[in-house]
Structure 1
Amino acid sequence: MTATRAEHDAMRRALALALRGPRGVNPQVGAIILSAAGDILAEGWHRGAGTPHAEVDALSRLDPGAAAGATAIVTLEPCNHTGRTGPCAEALIRAGVGRVVYAIADPNAVSAGGGERLTAAGVDVESGLLADEAHALLDSWLTVQRLGRPHVTVKWAQSLDGRAAASDGTSQWITGPVARADVHRRRAQADAIVVGTGTVIADDPALTARAEDGSMYEQQPVPVVLGERAVPADAAVRRHPKDLLQYPGDLTTALADLQRRGVHRVFVEGGPSVAASFVRAGLADEFLVYVAPALLGGDMLALRDLGVATIDDALRLWVTSVDRLGEDLLIVGTPRHAEASNEQGDS
């Protein structure tokens, strides 16, 4: 059976409802219950960990038996897992729903299989409705499911000859205001921003995301500091609107804890040693390199040793875009091995 116009409209509404829920450990999901005539009987969305899932939230707004023979429209395959809440697939079956239409399959092996369970119970199931829109909505959550950790963007600014600072250590500002504004916009899109203790002590960054007029973006990344040295009590980062997290330096442990906290996207800002540590560990999924038309010379490289002993060992990147930002350039790239893995996974 092909999805009806009413089901298309309901899925668009469900996608909009999903955005009302918080982005975190659990996916943002919306659900609509339609009558046989295509009228909306109830709608719901997931409000966060431990709360009813979207399908159950929608069903809870109906009298017993009111969903019999109805159609459930859901942005993500109904779960088949008992955690803090029961399986949504079972809840739909108990409610007597006759048809379920969902946008994308659940990639989590623990909770997947709801579609099969519904089909086995005699429910008509259709998947793939507005799948592109649902993928866009859940992009960061789906990335975490694929990687098993948060997505990591490594960013640095450098002179044309690859230096992050002058010989005396000064680095503000290598790039111009347009490039710096772009960095702040990207900070606001991240869930966490990471620097090392050396950067905190040397530069005293606030690690906030600010608009060009100096006001704070509504979305602020969680400030994360790597290293054993204590962050000074009067450091600017301690005045960040979100609580500071500090890890001793084990990147895998840090990323695992951030994932448990619902962090999907990590923005690594430095310095050169911290950036290199993510690259050496194979934990850099995206590179943002801001290049200023300036020459500094000296030893203050933008990236520390990567363990590359010969040219054959060079980490090659796919350049996905090159943009001019004022007088500066922004080069965006991804590791070539990551692109190959994605292509294999998509085939």
Structure 2
Amino acid sequence: MAVTEAERGAMTRALALAANGPRGINPQVGAVILSPAGEVLAEGWHRGAGTPHAEVDALSKLAPGQAAGATAVVTLEPCNHTGRTGPCAQALIDAGVSRVVYAVDDPGDASSGGGDRLRAAGVEVVAGEQADASRHLIADWLTVQRLNRPHVTVKWAQSLDGRAAASDGSSQWITGPEARADVHRRRAEADAIVVGTGTVLADDPALTARDGQALYARQPIPVVIGSRPTPPGAAVHRHPHAPLFYDTRDLTAVLADLRDRGVQRVFIEGGPTIASAFVAAGCADTVLAYIAPVLLGGDRLALTDIGVSSIGDAVRLQVDEWLPVGVDLLAIARPATDPAAGKEGS
């Protein structure tokens, strides 16, 4: 079923509204209610755990009966379960909405099925409108729901010829100040920042997120993976959060424990060894490659062995954005075949 121009515009608006909500254990969701003539009647978004969902937030702004025959445009399939709030699918049915257009299917075992519930009540349902944009907005939440582990961003900085350091091991600074500031801003958006013990011993990083000389209000939890001990005087011990240490090479176990601790967004900040391990394990949901216009040569590659023995085994990426950052270039990419991506259709 085709969407109307009014519904398409409403979805664009709903996505903008969704971005107002906090990133956390619940997805960012926006909703717009349209009259039968395509005029906006109400808007809403989800403001965090325990607050009304986007559809209910929008409906709450209407008088009783005002939503009869209306269309609800929502960035995520209306939920179908009772948690801290009731099922949004039923709220739309009770309000008399006759059509629902949504972007992405809800992957939750308990919360999914809202579309089917609406159809069973005689509501016309269209799925998949601007699904890619919605998936991008809630990518970390979708990863947690579908793969039962945190969303992993693997970051590295490299020279134009793919090196992470010069032959003597020096790497500060390959990229310019604008790129480094961009990294710190993205660190502040993560729940945890991960390095290997090699990086701790070689660079003694603080693993904080800094805005210039000041710390961002939101700091990721520092995580160190590896068997070598971290010195008692290491900078990571002065982090605002107590660091977590994992003496294991089992990345699945590490991610499972972080998930149990409520971590949803993991930022891999270590060197080539730890970055390569996450890529090889298929646990790189987003890749941030900062590319500096310098040439280093040598064998200090940004990635080492990731299990690719022939070109047919190459890890294929889809670049979502090429972003100039000062004199450097940032490639923001994700796996071409995304195990956390659902299949929405109309």
TM above 0.5, one fold?
yes
TM-score relative to the length of structure 2: 0.73
> Which residue does the alignment assign to 1:224?
223
Residue 102 of structure 1 and its aligned partner are, at CA, apart by 1.9
Helix, strand or coil for the counterpart of 2:194? Answer: strand
Contact 1:24 1:261 in 2 (8 A): no
Amino acid at match of 2:11: M
Whole-Å separation in 2 of the counterparts to 1:164 and 1:105: 43
TM-score relative to the length of structure 1: 0.73
Amino acid at match of 1:316: A
Whole-Å separation in 2 of the counterparts to 1:14 and 1:121: 24
Whole-Å separation in 1 of the counterparts to 2:134 and 2:167: 46
Whole-Å separation in 2 of the counterparts to 1:8 and 1:314: 39
Structure 1: 5+ residue runs without aligned partners? Answer: none
Contact 1:210 1:216 in 2 (8 A): yes
Residues 257 and 24 from structure 1, CA distance in 2 versus in 1: closer, same or farther, beyond 3 angstroms? farther
Whole-Å separation in 1 of the counterparts to 2:331 and 2:20: 34
Whole-Å separation in 2 of the counterparts to 1:280 and 1:115: 37
Residue 233 of structure 1 and its aligned partner are, at CA, apart by 6.4
Amino acid at match of 2:314: R
Residue 105 of structure 1 and its aligned partner are, at CA, apart by 2.4
Q: Which moved more, 1:32-41 or 1:82-91?
A: 32-41
Residue 98 of structure 1 and its aligned partner are, at CA, apart by 2.5
The 5-angstrom pairing of residues 92-111 of structure 1 reads: 92-111=92-111
Whole-Å separation in 2 of the counterparts to 1:118 and 1:340: 31
Amino acid at match of 1:288: A
The 5-angstrom pairing of residues 162-181 of structure 1 reads: 164=165, 171-173=171-173, 177=177, 180-181=180-181
Whole-Å separation in 2 of the counterparts to 1:319 and 1:58: 38
Contact 1:317 1:333 in 2 (8 A): no
Residue 10 of structure 1 and its aligned partner are, at CA, apart by 3.4
Backbone CA RMSD of aligned residues = 4.3
Residues 314 and 243 from structure 1, CA distance in 2 versus in 1: closer, same or farther, beyond 3 angstroms? farther
Contact 2:166 2:297 in 1 (8 A): no
Residues 228 and 102 from structure 1, CA distance in 2 versus in 1: closer, same or farther, beyond 3 angstroms? same
Residue 197 of structure 1 and its aligned partner are, at CA, apart by 3.7
> Which residue does the alignment assign to 2:121?
121
Residue 268 of structure 1 and its aligned partner are, at CA, apart by 1.4
Amino-acid identity (%)? 62
Amino acid at match of 2:25: V
> Which residue does the alignment assign to 1:21?
21
Helix, strand or coil for the counterpart of 1:223? Answer: strand
Residue 89 of structure 1 and its aligned partner are, at CA, apart by 1.0
> Which residue does the alignment assign to 1:88?
88
Residues 290 and 224 from structure 1, CA distance in 2 versus in 1: closer, same or farther, beyond 3 angstroms? farther
User: Higher Cα Rg: structure 1 or 2?
Assistant: 1
Helix, strand or coil for the counterpart of 1:31? Answer: strand
The 5-angstrom pairing of residues 195-206 of structure 1 reads: 195-206=195-206
Residues 233 and 17 from structure 1, CA distance in 2 versus in 1: closer, same or farther, beyond 3 angstroms? farther
Kindly tell me the number of residue pairs found equivalent between the two proteins: 337
> Which residue does the alignment assign to 2:134?
134
Whole-Å separation in 1 of the counterparts to 2:78 and 2:326: 47
Residues 58 and 329 from structure 1, CA distance in 2 versus in 1: closer, same or farther, beyond 3 angstroms? closer
Helix, strand or coil for the counterpart of 1:283? Answer: coil
> Which residue does the alignment assign to 2:289?
288
Amino acid at match of 2:289: L
Residues 328 and 71 from structure 1, CA distance in 2 versus in 1: closer, same or farther, beyond 3 angstroms? closer
Amino acid at match of 1:274: I
- Match for residue 339 of structure 1 among 329, 336, 341: 336
> Which residue does the alignment assign to 2:112?
112
